[in-house]
Structure 1
């Protein structure tokens, strides 16, 4: 059977799903769940950012203080409170529903990210409707749902998936007002809907990640004002009432945290976090161009079409729709490329603009027929390379071949191969749909099967499991040499982070205490134990791999037998 014939059912199903808005929403919701849920529940807390966010939220729930943000005794004033409130609401709801040990289940803290990712997919569809047909908007939504980078962020208890939701809502609302002005429409009674969405989403973005969302909006407005030599359309955004509404939403917490901590939050958040990113923060420095290189992986499977659409998009750059989307995309992208600190998720809020621009070129059938067509092979190359890396990595780390993942990953490669083989300008949509199917199988294979099997890269989970099996009541722990945030999240807020000598002292101070000592700190522990006459035994030993530091670890769990 030819690939074109074998994929005819895909087009038929897509025709049915795009017959009306309700069906499209159901399609995008189901595709989002299929892609985002594998591994969502059973991948342990990942160091370091996810575990830090989750632990700070857990302390909010434990203390009942929903103003201050802390990691153990240290303040955590890098981001505003928005994501912590959302995660706290998820934890409190789960606890109220009777879920045991809700505060220790990392997947509950990930629920806001899942909602943010699915909401961003649906809002991409809504935003795209202002530029392309319903069918094209559905394809833009599918591009975002299957996007590699969003798939990762949907499974992490961090700010970025929710931030994406607020950015797309903001930019989609602003697009409707701008395009209405470009068309010369002058309604007698302008709608409040788009301004209300804009200012509310803007407030949400500020509470999630501070002024970053203002950069996306501000650079877009500035670029359009320069190109159009006018910004008169901004008055349709109801700026006076909107600004007051936004301040009503964001000021209460900022006032509360200033009342609690003075200017410490602003000094740490703006000076210590945001401005420090202009330098190579936390060894994440990289030269300009990195995001362009990473794009071809992080936006897969849509990246293959995006490259072919680029020439046509540039030719149409002065058309109102393309101009708006490029104003959303290019200035902020340049800023991110110039900033020294680079992390892949920084450019995620720009991907919906790329998806809509790509679909616009696809609908007009103006995709490049030049050498860029060779990029269709990328639909197959990514699942093939990812499958090989996943299986080889699993064998190296666990000495297990993870056979259950093989047929799933093979299916991903097959659909990627079909997408490549059948590509031509008239069948670009069909190739993209096959690429989305490949992304689904890749997600199930890697996130659902391979990653949960890599127990060695989650030593904190193994340590917490060992401590839960002890026979004493209320075990307390001190860690030496292994201080990852996931350990604090899983073993308890009062876990002491110390050195080998401190762990020995801790062990001698009472019963039901455990010292978690990494091999590099054992010498200090043993010397101090001998000095204070501490008798101890090894309750267990966890061998694993610290992904944050990129090295193997061996952690002994020592238990006191008293003193001589």
Structure 2
């Protein structure tokens, strides 16, 4: 064997427990949170167009090619919508189901990797910690790539952990194929991230083996010939088809613009200095903050042991790459969090409570500060962007989360790591449900697109519900509006909007306040449009208040 791991067979009961917890945690917001994330709206609209056109090769947002991410997530979302809902209803929850399943599988695969490296109890703690990470719960409830990518990476690394802890001569063909299949799925979801994680981990394992004459022999464990053939079978058909369909533009733009340019220069105003991911980690993986100081010290002391070296090989090189990249988003290092969960799980389950008392206490204080601060921030958000303001239920929910959070800190300080873990993941799940179900759906000043849809429906101008033909938008080009109002929605300039409104009877148009003057000045005297209704709110992507007004040439 390459790594001397525990190799304990996973427990069915543990898997069910992790799956149920991840399901309950990830369900928060699945049904109720409006499409606030712009990327989510782009993904679901591109999936919608695949279903509408029957073209499952090209990825488009209206008439523009979306040559950024591979096709995998769109296929999963399309399959979910076609199975469980009607695309004409724009069922956002159905588009989000693959992300929820991804978060569940990621937590289970982390547990399975833990069984190979450290044993069942450390694996169980790691799986529950990952499922309770706020960033994982958040990604589980929005229709993007990242939760599914996390599942692919965790599945790949779990297979690798089991292969490296097995006897060299023992047949591991099915596990090896699982490794390559997970990598292939990861490539179809988000391109090079999964192979990069595998490459850095394998490079670390090679360094770990350098003292052996046959240090390279572990490569045979991977069944590389069969694996590469499987990768080609999974990826080549679509890669060839999209290359032909876009005349090579997909690969030029996906690699040259979407991937490499993010490393060299900030994209879409998402710049941050090196170290930003380290600072964000404490909130993104809040429950782990309770244990990570002591766990990091313990793992650092034992870094030469195979299971810990595996975790560091998974974690360190990719983390440094994310830190030096010019474009940073909080979820980027999420594929590395399982490695941190594993070393935390090992500490919780096996290390005597009397060790690292100072670091455990410091972690408890940091954890409590983050928890209390996050609750306060959510209350401020609700008070500022909800017209209803704060209610008694907001305060009661906040009090409950704070009590459980402080309880976790106290339990950690008095050397009760197991109960502290239970309290920490409970606090995280309560925070997710309170945020996604109790706060975000009430932020009506931020939910401009749902308010726009309601206004149009109230005045019989909703393209999908009232069968009135496409609507035009001037000054409001949010992707969520295209998804909600239909693929044929027109995004126009003021003069174009005026011309569009006058060329056919019974048309309606929505104009943002800043463009009203230019829009109205484009009409001749005697043919001015009529104001039908208006809504006001806050466009967070542009960081300003907006007012949208519905116009017709004549009142209905």
Determine which of 510, 518, 543 is the counterpart of 1:524.
518
Deviation string 1:105-149 (CA, Å, 9 cap, x unpaired) is 211111110110111111111111112222221111110111011
Task: Pick one of 440, 459, 480 that aligns with 1:486.
Answer: 480
CA positional deviation for 1:371: 4.8
Question: Contact 2:10–2:112 at 8 Å: present in 1 too?
Answer: no
Superposed, 1:306-455 pairs within 5 Å as 306-365=292-351, 368-371=356-359, 373-399=361-387, 400-424=389-413, 426-455=415-444
2:139 to 153, 160, 163: 153
8 Å contact kept, 1:296–1:304:
no
Kept in 2: contact 1:534–1:560 (CA 8 A): yes
SS at match of 2:550: strand
Superposed displacement of residue 64, structure 1: 0.6
Whole-Å Cα distance in 2 between the matches of residues 257 and 402 of structure 1? Answer: 52
Q: Is the 1:479–1:496 contact (alpha carbons within 8 Å) kept by the matching residues of 2?
A: yes
Q: Classify the secondary structure of the residue corresponding to 1:436.
A: helix
Task: Indicate the larger mover: 475-484 or 364-373.
Answer: 364-373
Kept after mapping to 2: 8 A contact 1:504/1:534 = no
Note the residue ranges of structure 1 that are not aligned, 5 or more in a row.
1-17
Partner of 2:527: 534
Matching residue of 2:499: 505
Q: How does 1:263-342 map to 2 (within 5 A)?
A: 263-278=248-263, 279-342=265-328
| Distance in 2 of aligned mates of 1:26 and 1:60 | 35
Question: Which whole-Å CA distance do the structure 1 matches of 2:16 and 2:359 have between them?
Answer: 37
CA distance in 2, matches of 1:409, 1:242: 50
1:31-180 correspondence to structure 2 within 5 Å? 31-95=21-85, 99=86, 101-102=88-89, 104-180=90-166
CA distance in 2, matches of 1:23, 1:227: 34
Runs of 4+ in 1 over 6 A off after TM superposition: none
Q: Which moved more, 1:534-543 or 1:489-498?
A: 534-543
What is the alpha-carbon root mean square deviation over aligned residues? Answer: 1.8
Q: Is the 8 A contact 1:408 1:444 kept in 2?
A: no
Q: CA deviation at 1:77?
A: 0.5
Whether the 8 Å contact between 1:477 and 1:515 is mirrored in structure 2 is yes
Is 295-304 or 465-474 further displaced after alignment? 465-474
Q: Pick from 22, 25, 39: which aligns with 2:12?
A: 22
1:218 paired to 2:208: no
Deviations 1:355-398 (A, max 9, x none): 00111123332652235522202333233222222222211122
Which residue does 1:558 correspond to in 2? 551
Superposed displacement of residue 326, structure 1 = 0.5
More off after superposition, 434-443 vs 376-385: 376-385
Deviating more after overlay: 328-337 vs 279-288: 279-288
**Among 181, 184, 207, which residue is 1:203 paired with?**
184
In the alignment, the residues of structure 2 paired with residue 457 and residue 286 of structure 1 have an alpha-carbon distance, to the nearest angstrom, of: 25
Mapped to 2, the partners of 1:551 and 1:498 lie a distance apart of 20
Is the Cα contact below 8 Å between 1:47 and 1:485 reproduced in 2? no
Structure 2 segments unaligned to the other structure (5+ residues): 1-7, 461-465
**Alignment partner, residue 13 of structure 1:** none
Aligned length: 535
1:530–1:392 CA distance, 2 compared to 1 (3 A): farther
Query: TM-score, normalization: structure 2?
Result: 0.93
The Cα offsets for residues 172-225 of structure 1, whole Å up to 9 and x where unpaired, read as 111111222xxxx233x5121210110100110010111121111111111221
Q: TM-score, normalised by structure 1?
A: 0.91
**SS of the residue 2:43 aligns to:** helix
> Residue 447 of structure 2 aligns with which residue?
458
What is the CA distance between 1:100 and its match in structure 2?
7.8
